[in-house]
Chains A and B, each alone.
Chain A
Amino acid sequence: MFEETGTTAEGDLVINVGPQHPSTHGVLHLVITLRGETIINVEPHLGYIHRSIEKMCESLSYRQFIYVTSRMDYLSSHINNHACALCVEKGLQVEIPERAKVIRVLMDELTRMASHQLWWGAMAMDVGALTPFFHAFREREVINEIMEETCGARLTMNYMVPGGVMYDLHPNFQQKVKDFIILFKSKIDEYDEMVTGNVIFQNRMKGVGYISKADAVSYGCTGPTARASNVSCDIRKLFPYEIYDKVNFDEVTATGGDCFARYLVRVQEMRMSLSIIEQLIDNIPEGDFQAKTKAVLKLPKGEFYASVETARGEFGVYIISEGGMTPYRIKFRSPGFSNLSALNHMAKGHKIGDLVAIMGSLDLVIPDIDR
């Protein structure tokens, strides 16, 4: 152990956090080298929930493998399915109906909000405030109920299929989403009032876990983690898919680069998602919700890459096809994996109490990292 890190000196302390610890948000094992109370080195040990999804996908058909990806980043499963469906459609060159596009974007943004709500509660809990956690779950429950009516599931939806979406929307969907918009607009101000302005919270977050713009790009950070360092990396803006080029929204960036900037970006993203849903909910076009595809999908020989913006960053699907019914090789570019690689860089020189805040601000979902 001492020879491995190479940075340890006499009297340094090596401690393990995890694999089962509330602050790691899953089964993440961190080996931390401490000098006094200061962090010298953080080394993540992964693989505790490695299910070898990439290997499994090689024996699953193009309709089946989408179901596995729901289990990766289970807080934004809609968006993972979306990436896979986009990639298969790119290979098949299928144009999906307008209605399906709007439904997909609506579901994406609802999922993004639900994911950020859970993160917001967990983040506050990480730095010692328990009440926000319950508040966040209360609002997330409303979204989950909306999802449950339409998709039949609350966590792993599997709603998006190659060619569109699986079912049509539930008749109550529109009304319920409208009610939710009214509800959440007041609640998000409450969130701000409760946590953002809090002095203790700000002291725990400001100046902690700083990462510069160049470093964020070099470490491959995407999503709110990178946008807090003023990196423009929103896939919805740069490479618009579905109908994002017809919707008015801004890319949320901040210049702080620390935990507080990452917090502000995510809270602002919730507002942005709300405005996207507001623009679309009254304008869902009539028509089919699914394009006609063959019963057995066969992608032509070649390579296809599609990426979407999940709640954590850029989620990419890279399919190498040999023309058969199953992918020859599939690779998921998960956002958490790259974001985690910057953890050591962010945490060096801080106190061990700050490590929990840094991990919370990265919004790690471990199954997404391990795959």
Chain B
Amino acid sequence: MTNDELKIKLGELFPSSAFEEGTEWTTMLAEPVLWKEIALQLRHELVLDFLFCITCVDWKTHLAMVYHLRSTTTQDTVVVKAKLDRENPQIATVSDIWRTAEFHEREAYDLFGVQFIGHPDLRRLFLTDDYEGFPLRKDFEDPVNMIKL
């Protein structure tokens, strides 16, 4: 399907969702509270079975989760974004829908502090368990180990 066809289809499935313009792929903005339902629909209605990238972005005022999804049968690609509160970032886990999310979400928790509700094993992945702070946030300061380039 082309981007416009995908947009129409997604608009039918999720009437309340907004779209971003001028992007390479169809980009949908989702409410974090609805993300689990949206994810289930995307997986079963549109057969987007391949979650190939989960990115967390720190926009200083809020955090954003970006999910890149592709279908292995039709090669349609859909990007879903969700805005999270910076002080208390919470979003439902999708590790039961796409198993690869288990590692990716642990990484996002480790480096950004996003709490994934319902994740089976939410611990730090790269850093030690007693590490304080979230290094990939923009306001992270470490006077000893950080080198300003």
Footprint of B on A, CB under 8 Å? 46-47, 50, 52, 54-56, 59-60, 214-215, 217-220, 222, 231-233, 238-239, 302-305, 314, 316, 318, 320, 328-329, 331, 333, 337-338, 340-342, 345, 370
Among the listed B68, B72, B103, B136, which residue makes an inter-chain contact with A338, where contact means beta carbons less than 8 Å apart?
B103
Chain A residues closer than 8 Å to B99, beta-carbon distance: 215, 218-220, 341-342, 345
> Can you list 15 A-B contacts with CB-CB less than 8 angstroms, sorted by A residue number?
A46-B126, A47-B125, A214-B49, A217-B72, A218-B99, A219-B100, A222-B52, A302-B23, A305-B53, A316-B53, A316-B68, A337-B104, A337-B107, A338-B103, A342-B99
Pairwise interchain contact A220-B125, C-beta atoms closer than 8 A: no
Which residues of A lie under 8 Å from residue B103 when comparing CB positions?
Answer: 337-338, 340-341
**CA A238 to CA B58, docked complex, whole Å:** 32
A residues near B72, Cβ cutoff 8 Å: 217, 231-233
Residue B19 is within 8 A (CB to CB) of chain A in the complex: no
Give the chain A neighbours of B92 by CB distance below 8 A.
Answer: none
Question: What residues of chain B lie closer than 8 Å to A46, measured between beta carbons?
Answer: 125-126
Q: List 11 other contacts, CB 8 Å, given A60-B149, A331-B55, A337-B103.
A: A46-B125, A50-B126, A52-B135, A218-B98, A233-B50, A233-B72, A314-B52, A331-B53, A333-B52, A341-B99, A342-B99
The complex places the Cα of A338 from the Cα of B104 at a distance, in Å, of 8
Q: How far is the CA of A331 from the CA of B52 in the complex (A)?
A: 12
Q: Is the CB of B136 within 8 A of A218?
A: no
B126 contact from A214, A220, A238, A370, Cβ within 8 A: A370
- Measured CB to CB, the residues of B under 8 A from A are 22-25, 49-53, 55, 57-58, 66, 68, 72, 75, 98-100, 102-104, 107, 125-128, 135-136, 148-149
Set of chain B residues within 8 Å of A303, measured between Cβ atoms: 23-24
Task: Known A56-B149, A218-B100, A340-B103; judge A238-B75 contact (CB<8 A).
Answer: yes
Question: Total contacts A to B, CB within 8 angstroms?
Answer: 83
Q: Closest CB of chain B to A233's CB: distance in Å?
A: 7
A305 touches B68 (CB 8 A): yes
Bound form: Cα–Cα A26–B48 in Å: 34
Contact B50 A220 (CB under 8 A): yes
A contact residues around B148 at 8 Å (CB): 59
How long is the Cα–Cα vector from A43 to B128 in the complex, in angstroms? 15
State the CA gap A165–B88 with chains docked (Å): 45
Interfacial chain A residues near B58, Cβ < 8 Å = 329
- Most chain B beta-carbon neighbours within 10 Å: one of A217, A328, A342: A217
Chain A residues, CB < 8 A from B136: 52, 54-55
